[in-house]
Amino acid sequence: MKEGVAIWLVVGVLALLATTVKAQDARTVVIVRNAPAHGVVMVKVDLSQILKRLGAKPLQSTSLQAQLSDGRKIPTQFASESENEPAKGWLLLKLPKGGNWTVQLRVGQGTRDMGQGEQNGTIRTKHFTIAHEAKRMGGLPSRIVFAETGKTFDTFGWYDRGAARD
């Protein structure tokens, strides 16, 4: 990461009382200084004390939410380094642009935007085309076509050798 990007987890957890519900919404503040122009920031963190204070379960990749001080939500991801210490790992933030930012982190129920409908897709390169179809092979590659020869593979099963007797 670029030198000059400084990120601090403000260990003091802010407890904001919800106005309509008698519950607390615990947040942690991340201060980003001198983020690069593209806005992508990655930092190694240890969230164990914060999770302990929040009484939160181990993080899942979709359970960490981030928003700017003006309320705009930003993409974030936490990648744990090991199963033994799930609160230690890498925090990734996608800020709108470079500069200085204050970001609020919150552990909540994770959601994952799967877009509209099924996730189908095709990958084309100079050498091959691979089709992924949600209804066939569970979204794993279901057809591979080699460009030079036109040879097509579409009747295979993934991990088919694991159950073969030979």
Domain boundaries, the chain: 6-107, 121-153
Q: Is the pLDDT of residue 84 over 50?
A: yes
Closest residue by Cα to residue 58 from 89, 30, 23, 29? 89
The CATH number assigned to the domain with range 6-107 reads: 2.60.40
Poorest-pLDDT segment among 43-52, 66-75, 96-105: 43-52
Residue 61: the pLDDT is: 55
Grouping H, G, I as helix, E, B as strand and the rest as coil, residue 74 is strand
- Tracing tokens 């097509």 back to the chain, one arrives at 152
Residue 75 and residue 94 in contact, taking contact as beta carbons nearer than 8 Å: yes
Task: Taking residues 1-19, report their average pLDDT.
Answer: 40
- Residue 163 pLDDT exceeds 90: no
> Could you tell me if 128 and 146 are in contact, meaning their C-beta atoms sit under 8 angstroms apart?
yes
Q: Write down the H helix ranges in the chain.
A: 48-54
- The pLDDT of 27-39, averaged and rounded, is 88
- Supply the DSSP symbol for 3: T
Contact 9, 45 (CB under 8 A): yes
**pLDDT tens column, 121-135:** 888 999 999 998 888
